Structure 1
Amino acid sequence: MALQGKYQPLIDLANASGVSNLQVREQDNVLYIDGVAPTGEVKDKIWNSYDSIDPNFTSGDLVLNIDVSPAAPSTKLKVTTQSSNLNIRKGPGTDQPIIGKAAHAEIVTLLSKYNNDWSLIRTDAGVEGYCSNQYLTEQ
């Protein structure tokens, strides 16, 4: 339960921000937090909270599985890589694991702009994660 104490501000933020189906469990010295955020901005706030508790996400003791509600406001953007696929990552940063790819010229759904470098997107296949803004353009 020590990990729940460490990440209590993040759990409190998720509760206060309207994350539905919020589930928190600790297993093998890892805390798992699952749920559905009402907007991309809420998911971004949760990631910011995570970064403030564990700068650069280096502890490896939290698995954050918060998805954005399909009903959240969104915008369509085009993947504009040179020719390769765009990496979609678990969190905002190149140190985060790659959880999927978006093809060159694919249309993706922008859920939120995390900062000047990263955006939260969802593919038509349902892969949701963060990618570099430099490879996204308005249609």
Structure 2
Amino acid sequence: MSALQDKYASVISAAQSSGVSNLQVSEQDGILYVSGKASSSSAKDAVWNALGAIDSTYSASDINVDVQVAGLAAGASLKVNTESSNLNIRQEPSTEAAVVGKAAKGESVTLVEQTSEEWWKVKTADGEEGYAYARYLQA
């Protein structure tokens, strides 16, 4: 086991115990890649929560978590699951991009596309379309 796998052992075991299928753990250029399909958003959350316990800002540059909830199709209703604040809906899939809308905690948005593991394109009830951080969206 490498130092990175050791550091993130709790993330890997959370993925295993929450039932993530097709679990892949690989290392390249000093980055640990963890990917797989979650059977539910709670399984995905378990993995992110394990990462959050190690790195509360999710800003670690030495791990890439790509756990998608299987079977989420365009048009799926997603609930905004922020701690307390509004979720920013951005023009582009980047925290540098302009905010084009906001969704309140508990509000429902519609999935347009799972653009990447971190950013999903969504549409708000007001019809605003943009990119939101997938970490805060729950099926």
- TM-score normalized with structure 1 length: 0.58
Extract unaligned runs of 5+ from structure 2: 79-88, 128-139
Partner of 1:8: 9
Write out the 4+ residue segments of structure 1 that deviate beyond 6 Å after TM superposition.
117-121
Q: Report the 3-state secondary structure (helix = DSSP H, G, I; strand = E; otherwise coil) of the residue aligned with 1:57.
A: coil
Counterpart of 1:127 in structure 2 is 115
Q: Shift of the alpha carbon at 1:11?
A: 0.5
Other-structure match for 2:38: 37
Secondary structure of 1:44's counterpart equals helix
The Cα offsets for residues 49-104 of structure 1, whole Å up to 9 and x where unpaired, read as 111111202330001111110169x9536xxxxxx965556xxxx58xx8xxxx99
State the aligned residue count.
Answer: 109
Q: Which residue of 1 aligns with 2:82?
A: none
Give unmatched runs, 5+ long, in structure 1.
Answer: 78-83, 105-114
Q: CA distance change for structure 1 residues 9 and 127 in 2, over 3 Å: closer, same or farther?
A: same
Deviation at 1:136, TM superposition (A): 3.1
- Cα deviation, residue 21, structure 1: 0.3
One-letter amino acid matched to 1:137: A
Q: Percent identity?
A: 31
Partner of 1:68: 69
Structure-2 change in CA distance of 1:118 and 1:2 (3 Å): farther
2-side partners of 1:58 and 1:85: how far apart? 19
Amino acid at match of 1:32: Y
Correspondence list, 1:16-31, <5 A:
16-31=17-32
Give SS of 1:13's match.
Answer: helix
The aligned amino acid for 1:136 is T
Matched, 1:51 2:49: no
Aligned counterparts of 1:49 and 1:31: Cα–Cα separation in 2: 15
